[in-house]
Every structure is written in structure tokens, then in C-alpha cells.
Structure 1
Amino acid sequence: MSMQEVSMPKAWVMAARPQTLPAAAAPVFVGVGLAWNDGVFALFPALAALIGAALIQIGTNFANDYYDAVQGADTEAREGFTRVTQAGIIEPTAVKRAMYLTFAAAILVGTYLVYVGGVPILVIGLISVASGIAYTGGPYPLGYHGLGDVFVFVFFGVIAVMGTYYVQAAAVLAAPLSIGVPAGTVTAAAFVASLPIAAISTNILVVNNIRDRREDATTGKRTLAVRFGYRVSRVQYVALMVLAYATPFWFVLTESSFGALLPLVTLPLAVSVTQTVLTKTEGAALNPALEQTGKLLAAYAVLFTVGLAI
């Protein structure tokens, strides 16, 4: 794909990768559903959390596009979606500048959340932005050393859900600019609710890494799929799916919340995409599986949000 074939607005959309935004929105939705159920829903902190999460996701996408290209991890053999830096569609310096501007916008939105949630949100926000850059950039890129899965599980799952719940609860229960962690803002339920989102979000990366295993091995990108092979990555995918679909039963057992079982409606889609992941390695099959895992995350999150809220 050359410069002439893609308009600049379309190229920037490609670089931002809007198809990944469900991964940013899903944890916010779940945090809102749980806050609603607990009587601590707060509209403006929830909206700010959603916008901030989307900006961090887009900034991370720009960082991946830029650093994977300049470090040689993206090559002509890549089977995934087009990366604009590697393809020569947008100049590397422009993508890098867009990355910093997007993260700056996330920090700007975060200033309001720091006012609401205090020092804990300041710390979480700065670490999230730094990790978004460090995923593929910096002296020790997380994604190049098998730590990408941990990054996604923690930041796009656990911290994103618990952080969304925290800023709403802090807005309702505590004074602005708290130094410590106000009572009632960090709960076991918020942590448990984060696990399915963390699991399915990580599985998006697992599919990506299975698909790219051969190319990553030649370019020095040591993902878990490269380090341990297809079998371990497939076991990881199945284990994370099991975690996602077992978690709702915790709410049934501890809170008699049968609404939390609503995500089980998506189980047929989960089984279908898992069968593909267990049997295929080529991009022609795994690119659709990647999209289906993203759709599964979105559907699961919406149903889980409704289930928790009621």
C-alpha cells in the first residue's frame, strides 16, 4: 500500500485503529454498571474515564505503529492490519508527534479525574501513560519481552475497571483531591468484575501473537507465543476464556446477583472463536478471529454491565 492509495484522513484513522476502542470502553462500562448497583454512579467522572481510556488506547496504538516500524518488528511479511509507519503512508515523525499529543490530551482529561480522585488517580494515570509508551518503546519494550499480556491484563482490565469505579465512588463518598484511598472506593467486587474484561482483552493480544509468531521470531520480538510456542498460547487463550465465564458465578454465590450471568449468552461466540484459535495459525483465519474476540469483549461487557446494574 503506497502513499497515493490512501487519503491522509483515512490513514490517520488506520493509525488510530478505532476497531480497538471496545477494549478501552469495555472496562469503563463494567465499572459504571457496578457503581450504579452500589449507588455511587457519577456521570462526569464516568465520562472522563471513558474519554481518558479511549485516548490512552489510541496513544498506545500510535506508539505501537511507530516503534514497531522503527525497531524493525513490522515487515513486509506482516499478516495483520496495515501499519501506516511501516507502509510509508505517514511519516514516522508525524506518528510519533501524534502519540505524544494524544497522551497529552489523556493527561489533560486526567487532571479532572485527579481533582475528583486525588493522588491515587494521579499515580495510576501517569503509570498508564508511561506503560502505553513502554509497551513497544523505551529501553525495555514490554511487548518485546513477553510482558505485553501482563500489561493488557493489568491496565486494560483490572486498573481500568477498578479505576472507573474508584473515581465515581470518590466523587460521591469523598472530598476532592484526596491524598489516601477513601473508604468504599476500592472493593472486592470491583476487582472480581475486572477479571473477565482483563481476560478477554488479553486474549485479543494472544490471537495477535499467535498470528504473528513466525514474523516476531525473525524480528526479535519475544512474545509469549515466540518464547513458548503455539500450544502454550492456546492453553493461555482457553484458560483466560474459562476465567471470563467462571467469574459471573462469584456474584451469584456472594451477592445472589443472577443478572451477572447475562454474559453467558455470548458463550457460543466464545466457543466458536476458540475453535479457530486452537486450529489455525495463518492470518486469513486469525484476522477474523481477532475481530471476533474484540466483538466478544464488547458484547460481554455490555451484558455484564446490565447484569451488574440490575
Structure 2
Amino acid sequence: MAAASTAPSVLSIWVGASRPRTLPAAIAPVLAASALAWRDGDFEAPASGVCLAFALLIQIGTNFANDYYDFVKGADTAERVGPRRAVASGLVAPATMKRAMIAVFAVAFATGLTLLAYGGWPLLIIGVASVVCGVAYTGGPYPLGYNGLGDIFVFIFFGLVAVGATYFVQAGVITQEAWIIGTGIGALAANILVVNNYRDVETDAKAGKRTLVVRFGRRFARAQFITGHGLALAALVAVGAGDWHPAFVITGAVVCVVAGWIQSRRLARATGPAELIRLLGQTGMYLAVYALVLSAGLIWG
């Protein structure tokens, strides 16, 4: 009797390449911004749905670009720890991944064009910048992720821009609250990258990938991680202090403090890649929980 095949399916390969653990970074800002629009009486379900699709496609396209360019630049080697990369492991040919990256970004751009009816031409600039920076994260002559700018990219595009643009296409303006929410969401999205780079610090250093943890060390990364949690807490309290019921503010603050303490402790005490891989998933899930808590407070608080 022939042995059962253990080769991964085509679907599982591409799902893995999309890096599901990172997708909360695309979902959270759209959810929170749409909840703010709902509270303000400006919610537009079609526009919110398109924003979600655009954000997910940009995230997946960026992940495909990362898979491709990290292989080309030699960052993904046999020494690397963490989830396997599709190109580096031989599951997907480099040319195939490059075509997939281009296709996903093209669909994202086409999807984003439908938002012009809601927000006008300024959204075209955001769409172009999102695609360009998604590629430039690990590609191009000055890749952001290789020069310590990846964290800033994530904070801006998956925090301030994603929240601000999603709210803008529904309300026609960007309020102070939208910026505050974008700060909290962006800080936690950047924390996902902190954990990822903390895990890969040795192999990144050998490959010349000068992430912040490579440049400044693990102690700096731990301080950055704690700061991200602190910004998220401050943003939630600032938004909730105005008109939420005190119970919502207190509950949200407790969730932030407990999650921040537990995750910061786990980062500091991690002794191997397995713990950091788990923490990476937990950091992404906390971002989703944070967005849900914010949304609940905005709608029912």
C-alpha cells in the first residue's frame, strides 16, 4: 500500500504565504474606524467593505513581496527560525511569487479605485503610496524593512492611514478621535513586527537586514514593545473618557494593562523561537481584541 502524501496542498501553501497571523493588522483599523463612523451616524457598509478588502490585499501583497525579496536578498536562509517561507523552502518558484505579488497589488489598486466615488482623488494618492510602500518594505534600492523603517511604515499605514482613510470615505472628514484611534491601532500593529524581528535578529544581522532590534538590541525592542502597549492604552482611555460609560473605560483599560503585562513578560522571558512564534500569533490576536473592545465602546459605550 502506497504511503500517504505529506506534500502540502497548493491552497495551504498560498494561505501560509499570506501569513494569517499578520492579517489582524489589516482588519483592526477598518473595524475600529467603521465603529467610529457608526457612532457618528456616518457608517457606509459598502465603503467599509471595500476598505477592508483593500487593506487585506495590501497586507497580503506586502507579505508576498517580503517572501520574494527576502529570498532574493538572502535574508531567508536555512538558519532562519519561524514559519517557513514559500520561496525559500522551494514550495513556490521566485518568478511565481513575484507574479502573485504583482497580481495582488493590482487587484488591491483596482479595488481602491472604487473608493474614489466616496473620497475623491486624495484616496488615489493613498492607494498609490500603499502599493509603493508595500513593495518598498523589502524591495527597491532602499528597502524600508532593511533600514530600520519597517516599524514606522506599519505604524503609519496600518494605523494612521488605515483608520483615517476608512473613516474619511464614510464621514468625509478625519476627526481628532480618528487620529487617536489610528495611533493605538498602529502601535499594536507595529508590535507584531517587533516580535517578528526579535525572533529573527541573528539571521537578519547576518543578511544585512538592519531592523531596529538589530541596530539597537533586544532591550530596545522590549522597551519599544511596552511603549506600543502604553500608546494603545492611552488611546483607548482618551477616546473613552469623553462619553463612554465608566464601566467600558475601566474594562478596556484592564484588558490593555493585563495583555500588555503578560505579553511584555513573555517577550522578555522567551528563550527560543517556539515561544516567540506563539507570541507573534498572540500579539496579532490581541490587536483584534483591542479593536473589538474599542468598537464595542464606540457603539454601545
TM over 0.5: yes
With the shorter chain as reference, the TM-score category is over 0.9
* Residue of structure 1 equivalent to 2:277: 287
Question: Following the alignment from structure 1 to structure 2, what is the Cα–Cα distance between the partners of residues 265 and 93?
Answer: 48
SS of the residue 1:65 aligns to:
helix
Q: Which of the numbers 238, 250, 255 marks the counterpart of 1:250? A: 238
SS at match of 1:248: helix
- What is the identity, as a one-letter code, of the residue corresponding to 2:157? F
Q: Partners of 1:293 and 1:56 in 2: how far apart?
A: 20
In the alignment, the residues of structure 1 paired with residue 292 and residue 212 of structure 2 have an alpha-carbon distance, to the nearest angstrom, of 30
User: Is the 2:21–2:280 Cα contact (8 Å) retained in structure 1?
Assistant: no
The aligned counterpart of 1:64 is: 66
Match of 1:80 in 2: 82
Match of 1:276 in 2: 266
For 1:269 and 1:156, locate their aligned partners in 2 and report how far apart those are by CA, in whole Å.
20
Q: Which amino acid aligns with 1:208?
A: N
Q: Which amino acid aligns with 1:292?
A: Q
1:263 is displaced (CA, Å) by 3.1
Is 1:234 aligned to residue 222 of structure 2? yes
- Equivalent position amino acid for 1:264 in 2: A
Q: How many residues align?
A: 294
Kindly provide the amino acid, as one letter, of the partner of residue 308 in structure 1: L
Could you say which residue in structure 2 is the equivalent of 1:176?
A: none
- How far the C-alpha of 1:30 sits from its partner, in A, is 0.4
Give the letter for the 1:249 counterpart. V
Coordinate RMSD, CA, aligned:
1.6
Once the two structures are superposed, residues 176-210 of structure 1 have per-residue CA deviations (whole angstroms, 9 ceiling, x without a partner) of: xxxxxxxxx11111000111111110000001111
Distance 1:262 1:161, change over 3 A: farther
Q: Please give the residue correspondences for 1:1-310 in structure 2 after superposition, counting only pairs within 5 Å.
A: 5-170=7-172, 185-255=173-243, 258=246, 259=248, 262-267=251-256, 268-280=258-270, 282-310=272-300
Q: 1:195 to 1:101 in 2, by over 3 A?
A: same
> What is the Cα deviation at residue 116 of structure 1?
1.4
**TM-score if structure 2 supplies the norm length?**
0.94
Tell me, yes or no, if the aligned pair for 1:261 and 1:304 is still in contact at 8 Å.
no
State how far apart, in whole Å, the 1-side matches of 2:129 and 2:259 are.
Answer: 34
Q: Which runs of 5+ in 2 are unaligned?
A: none
- CA gap 1:132/1:293 in 2 versus in 1, 3 angstroms: same
SS, match of residue 23 in structure 2 = helix
Q: For 1:123 and 1:232, how far apart are their aligned partners in 2?
A: 34
Separation in structure 1 between the aligned mates of residue 125 and residue 85 of structure 2, nearest angstrom? 31
Give the distance between the partners of 2:154 and 2:127, measured in 1 at CA.
15
The range that moved more, 82-91 or 110-119, is 110-119
C-alpha separation in 2, matches of 1:48 and 1:22? 16
Offset from partner CA, 1:115-142 (integer Å, 9 cap, x none): 2111111111110111000000011100
Equivalent-residue separation in structure 2 for 1:282 and 1:132 (angstroms): 29
Supply the distance in 2 between the matched residues of 1:139 and 1:105 (Cα, whole angstroms).
Answer: 25
Q: Report the alpha carbon displacement of residue 260 of structure 1 after superposing the two structures with TM.
A: 5.1
Q: What one-letter code is carried by the residue in structure 1 that aligns with 2:252? A: P
CA distance in 2, matches of 1:19, 1:110: 23
Residue identity opposite 1:40 in structure 2:
D
Aligned equivalents of 2:65, 2:36: Cα separation in 1: 32
Cα separation, 1, equivalents of 2:147 and 2:122: 28
For structure 1, which runs of at least 5 residues remain unmatched after alignment? 171-184
Query: Is the 1:117–1:167 Cα contact (8 Å) retained in structure 2?
Result: yes
- Aligned equivalents of 1:141 and 1:84: distance in 2? 20
CA distance, structure 1, for counterparts of residue 124 and residue 251 of structure 2: 34
C-alpha change, 1:79 and 1:255, in structure 2 (3 Å) is same
Would the aligned equivalents of 1:46 and 1:164 in 2 still touch at CA under 8 Å?
yes
Range moving further from structure 2, 270-279 or 235-244? 270-279
Worse overlay, 93-102 or 277-286: 277-286
SS at 2:79 equivalent: coil
Structure 1 outlier segments of 4+, above 6 Å:
none
